Amino acid sequence: MEELIIHLEFAKILGAFALGAIVITFITYLISKKNRTIKYIPGFILILIGIYNLFYVGADSPTLEDVNRLLVVVTTMIAGFIGLSTGLIIGIFKKGRE
């Protein structure tokens, strides 16, 4: 049961990052409605952070620091893809209104 609670803590962190990516993507869309590509920048930034941390995860040393860094990689990559997906969904709805 304790392991399940630990995994739920990681899910809360992932949910917070995903919600933050959605909110930031929507805010960047509202700030600049004329430029279509700005809404994708938060997702790309999160993916770049994930890739940067992926290079520092050691394959040979299974220490706690590497496991935590791997958690950062997974969380930022998933949140980045959610941010990009949100940008695509906003673009589809915007195109339907025009």
* Whether pTM exceeds 0.85: no
Q: What is the pLDDT of residues 67-88, one digit of tens each?
A: 778 888 889 999 999 999 999 9
46 has a pLDDT exceeding 90:
yes
Whether the pLDDT of residue 97 is over 90: the answer is: no
Q: Which residues contact 6 (CB under 8 A, 6 or more apart)?
A: none
Please answer whether residues 72 and 53 qualify as being in contact, where contact means their C-beta atoms are separated by less than 8 angstroms. yes
Inform me whether the pLDDT recorded for 90 exceeds 70: yes
Structural domain tally of the chain? 1
Stretch 25-37: mean pLDDT:
88
Range of the domain at 38: 2-97
Alpha-carbon dihedral 84, 98, 33, 17, rounded to 10 degrees? -30
CA 73/CA 49 separation, integer angstroms: 8
